[in-house]
Structures are given as C-alpha cells and as structure tokens.
Amino acid sequence: MKYLFREINIKELDKRALEFGNVFQSSYWAEFKNKYGKVAFSGIDQNGKEVLSCLMLLVPVVPYFMKIGYIVRGFVGDFTDFELVSSFTLFLKGYMKKNHIMYVAIDPYEAYKTDFVLTEAGEKRHKNMIDSGYIHFPKKAYSMQRPTNYRVKWDSKKSVEDQEKEVWSNMKKALQNSVITSEHRGMEPVRFNGSEISEEVFGEFMRLFEITAETKKFGMKSVDYYRNLIKSFGDYSNIWFFKYNAEKDFEYTKSTLCRLEEEINKIEGLEEKARERKKAKLNELRDEYKNISARLDVIDKYKNEKYLSSFYTINFGTRCHLFFGANSPILRELKLTANYWPMLKACFDGKCESFDMGGTLRLDADDIKKDKTYDLYLYKSRYGGVLDELLGEYYLIGNRFWYKILHEKLHYLRRYAVRF
C-alpha cells in the first residue's frame, strides 16, 4: 500500500493544521470541543512523509451504545489524490467497525467552485469522495447547502511592504477611500491578543455582539461558548475594536467644512455668467456642507463613546480566520464604517497567506441578488478576493441498519453536534 495510517496523539495534529491554516483540525479545536470524544489520525507515504492528518469528534448515541463521528472541515490532505482519499477511507471504515461508529460526517475545507465556476480540482475532489464510498448530504433533506468562504490571498514571500501594496491595490477604490476617511475621522483600531483579553475586554466584545444580534435578528450561542473559544486558542486569539476618537472626528469635520466653505465662496464670488455655469456644482457643495454640518451635533452626542465595532479573529499559521464581527448602531448615525484593513495588515508576517472571512452568501436562495446575504457578499468582494463554494457535507456509513432506522430520529443530534 502506498499510504500508511495510524492513530496519533491529539497534539501531533498541529504541525499540519498550522501549515494549512486549518483551525478546525487542530488540538486547539479539540480542546474547545471538550464535551465530545475525539481521536486523531496521521497518514504517511512510502518515503515516510506525512501527507494527511485528521481530527474526528465522537458523539455518543444514547441509549444505543453507538457513536457518530464528525470530521470538522477536514481532513487535512490532498482531496484530488484518489489513492490517498480512498486508502484513508478504507482505514476509517475499519476504525468505525471496531469502535461502533454508526456514520461519519465530513465537510472538507476545500473548494468545489471558485467565484461561481466549477474548477477541475473541485470536480475531482467531489468525484474522489463519491468514488471512495461517501454519500453527498442530500440538500432536500434539511435544506442544507454547500457552505461558502470569502478569502483574500497574497504572496507571503514578499516583504511586508509589498504584501500590503498587493492587497491594497486589489481593493476597490471606494473601499480604499472609506478606510482613509475612517482613519481621518477617528476610527482607531485596537488589538487585544491572547492573555491581553481580560474579562473587561471580553465583556465589551460581548456587549457589542449582543447589540448586533438584536439589531440583525440572529441567534447567539452561550457566553461560555465564546469565552471558551477564545481561551482554547490562546495567543492565536485576537479581539479587535474600533475605538472612536470624537475629538479627532470633530477637528476633521470642521476642516472639511472650512474647505467646502472656501469652495462655495469662490464660486459665489464669480461673475454672474461664470457663476451660472457652475450652478449645479454650487448646489452640490451647499448640500454637502449642510449634511456634514449636521454631523457635528451627532459627534457631540456620542463624544463619550469608546468602542463602536469589534471583531474576533484567529491568526493560525497560513490563514487568519475572521469568526465574528459586531457594530454599534451609532456607526450608522455618525455615517462611519468599520473595516477589515487593520486585521489584514496584521497578517503580513511572512507565514500567513490568506484572510478567510467565512460564509457570505446563501447559494440555495431563490434569487441570490435579492437574498439578505447578498449585501454582505458585495461588501466582502470589495476586498478583491475570491468566493469559494466548499465541497459540502458527506456521510460515510458504518452501520447501514442502524443508520437507516435512527437517522431521522437523530437529526436533532446531528445538528447539535455538527454546528460550530
């Protein structure tokens, strides 16, 4: 056999997990999911080179003395290599039989389509899974869809300065202007890393997150879920805030008004015919002056506010993962926006080569452009990256008899166990 597989210590997962930036296939994710059983595997080729690593969570099915396995966003290996996929699947089947595992769910962190186009590699990955004995999770059963991930990539071998230039040049001009304006108006990024994340910092993050959940009408997990995630990933964890400097915003706004006033006075001082030719421009400047003047009262109203936006990222080897983001409604009143640029710049360390923004679009919507997720996709696309439609979820059935009987009954368990 070309490949050999064995069970390994959970900590041995991290070398490959960091190499491929897969947080979900690391010992840190295993620690975070400490409610569940877990097992780790490694695969080597004929030359002794490690070519695969795999973390599998194990969920007991009470009272049937069986288990469900879940390989979260894994395994870490080349899904285009049929021999590797099929050989590992054969090994996995043997392990399932010995350990009474009814079925294993797996949702690889691998692209099927990129920017809505099916790639040759994506097609091969899917075919290899099917040909190795997996069944693709039927969409119609639970309205499941292939998950998406929007990511920005760059050449990590370049200098920090050149990495920054590469990413910045790929961003849309409107986004570049928004980033610059936010800086001028007092939106100051603040980063808390690892042990710097105190209960006070965590509490402020949760405050903003709860406000966003209420505003956007989405459900939250328990406070302990977020606390344990941050704790489990230690120094890989980062909480970012945009701190609002009202004094800086006030000064910038006043200087903008002075500039507009000068332009208005210049046109108003022209002779009648010349002024008439610039009438449209004059009206435009007056409207802009009026709108920006009204901002001064809003700035004064919120001059004592500190943090207006927060994000949680995990900088893990070759990838930085954006997990959560939250914005105060005050941003809208101030006509300010937060952005990912400070988090991107923190990635230019010579190791990281991708900023993964996570799911962004419901591809099973009746009309994608009318779906509420489309605006989020449009925003993320301003960063000049690509949208990956991932392979989706597959099942490897170990015990077909019990799977057929219990699958529908265990739907609630599957959803509970599978969700991140």
> How many Cβ atoms sit within 10 Å of the Cβ of residue 30?
23
- Whole-number pLDDT of residue 350: 86
User: Which tens digit of pLDDT belongs to each residue from 211-235?
Assistant: 999 988 888 999 999 999 999 999 9
CA distances from 160 to 93, 156, 180, 348 (A): 46, 8, 20, 6
Give the sign of the dihedral formed by CA 210, CA 211, CA 214, CA 217: negative
Dig out the tokens for 401 from the structure. Answer: 């008899």
Q: Is the pLDDT of residue 60 over 60?
A: yes
Report the pLDDT averaged over residues 235-258: 97
Lowest mean pLDDT among 167-176, 280-289, 400-409: 400-409
Cα 6 from Cα 87, distance rounded (Å): 12
What percent of the chain clears pLDDT 90, i.e. is strictly above it? 78
User: Which tens digit of pLDDT belongs to each residue from 171-212?
Assistant: 999 999 999 999 999 999 999 999 999 999 999 999 999 999
> Could you tell me the pTM of the whole model?
0.91
**Side-chain-side CA neighbours of residue 187 (13 Å):** 26
User: Which has the closest alpha carbon to 13: 75, 68, 69?
Assistant: 75
DSSP 8-state assignment for residue 235: G
CA–CA–CA angle 402, 405, 410 (5° rounding): 90
pLDDT bracket for residue 141 (50, 70, 90): very low
Report the pLDDT averaged over residues 232-254: 97
pLDDT bracket for residue 368 (50, 70, 90): confident
Dig out the tokens for 189 from the structure. Answer: 């990024």
Q: Is the pLDDT of residue 53 over 60?
A: yes
